[in-house]
């Protein structure tokens, strides 16, 4: 990514990539939600994108995200519509309330205990929390990446639908960097299809980042999570788990 390009140019380039991938897959670009992943970036960079028409923002650390969400609502105050905040990172149970305080959707539910904690937090805020079940489809389980292993997927889905204040909206994965991303995405779509056969409103397929959004769209993703291609490179510290 050329560091000299403006936010508007970077956004246009990402939108063009999404449109080209949709054209190649004979899909309607209107089916794809672009989530701008602003981890490690200050609030003013988020506001810039909101003013350019981005409506969905993703964050992966609870505390940083909560602070930024309130900063953004003050800074944007009227000049841009409030975004939908997506929480996409590894989450500890004791941060569930923090996340339920600002997030519309949590993409990273990967164990029953976290579903329970988020359910309690959502009960307190009074509106249901939309959640995705994150799958770890890598050859070797990688705790740093998060996600439930396929063998535990059904039990986790049951735990999510059993509670009152979570709304199961679909599935998510992070493709291992050194793996065939397309293969992970195809498998994720397979899990999504069997899930939707039972839970018809679980239509979200969150897959694809800056490097692999074309493969994800080609496989069937509905939500892509794009950081670097929109904001430029981050410091590595923001990659670490909360
Ligand atoms: C950081 C992050 C992204 C965005 O990654 P880029 O390569 O910067 O586009 C997407 N999903 C998750 C879970 C992330 O942590």
**Whether residue 228 has its Cβ less than 6 Å from ligand 1:** yes
DSSP string, 213-234: HHHHHHHT-SEEEESHHHH-PP
88 Cα: distance to centroid of ligand 1 (angstroms): 8
pLDDT in tens, 150-189: 999 999 999 999 999 999 999 999 998 767 899 999 999 9
Q: Is 37 helix (H, G, I), strand (E, B) or coil?
A: strand
Q: pTM of the full predicted structure? A: 0.94
Over residues 126-148, the pLDDT tens digits come to 899 999 999 999 877 777 779 99
Ligand 1 centroid–CA 99 distance in Å is 18
Is 107 close to ligand 1, i.e. is its CB under 6 Å away? Answer: no
| Predicted confidence band of residue 238 (pLDDT cuts 50, 70, 90) | very low
Q: pLDDT (tens digit, 9 = 90+) per residue, 51-83?
A: 999 999 999 999 999 999 999 999 877 777 889
Query: pLDDT band at residue 195, thresholds of 50, 70 and 90?
Result: very high
pLDDT at 240 over 80: no
What b-and-e string marks burial along 54-63, b requiring 16 or more CB atoms within 10 Å of the CB?
A: bebbbbbbbe
Question: Could you write out the DSSP letters of every residue in 162-205?
Answer: HSSSEEEEEEEE---TTS-HHHHHHHHHHHHHHHHHH-TT--EE
| Residue 4: per-residue pLDDT | 60
Best of 11, 17, 37 for a ligand 1 pocket test (most atoms within 8 Å of beta carbon): 37
What is the position in ligand 1's atom list of the atom closest to the CA of 226? 9
94 CA distance to ligand 1 centroid (A)?
Answer: 23
Average model confidence (pLDDT) for the chain?
A: 93
Q: Is the CB of 174 under 6 A from ligand 1?
A: yes
Segment 15-44 shows an average pLDDT of 98
């Amino acid at each position: 990514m050329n560091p000299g390009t403006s936010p508007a140019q970077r956004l246009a380039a990402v939108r063009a990539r999404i449109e080209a991938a949709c054209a190649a897959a004979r899909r309607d670009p209107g089916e794809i939600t672009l989530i701008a992943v602003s981890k490690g970036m200050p609030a003013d960079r988020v506001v810039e994108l909101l003013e350019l028409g981005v409506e969905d923002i993703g964050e992966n650390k609870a505390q940083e995200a909560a602070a930024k969400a309130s900063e953004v609502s003050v800074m944007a105050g009227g000049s841009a519509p409030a975004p939908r905040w997506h929480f996409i990172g590894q989450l500890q149970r004791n941060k569930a309330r923090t996340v339920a305080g600002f997030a519309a959707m949590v993409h990273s539910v990967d164990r029953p205990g976290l579903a329970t904690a988020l359910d309690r937090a959502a009960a307190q805020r009074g509106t249901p929390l939309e959640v995705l079940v994150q799958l770890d489809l890598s050859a070797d389980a990688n705790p740093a990446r998060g996600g439930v292993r396929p063998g535990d997927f059904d039990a986790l889905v049951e735990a999510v639908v059993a509670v009152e204040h979570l709304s199961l909206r679909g599935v998510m994965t992070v493709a291992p960097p050194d793996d065939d991303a397309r293969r992970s995405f195809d498998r994720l779509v397979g899990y999504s299809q069997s899930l939707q056969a039972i839970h018809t409103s679980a239509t979200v397929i969150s897959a694809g980042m800056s490097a692999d959004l074309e493969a994800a769209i080609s496989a069937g993703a509905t939500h892509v999570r794009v950081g670097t291609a929109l904001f430029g490179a981050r410091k590595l510290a923001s990659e670490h788990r909360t």
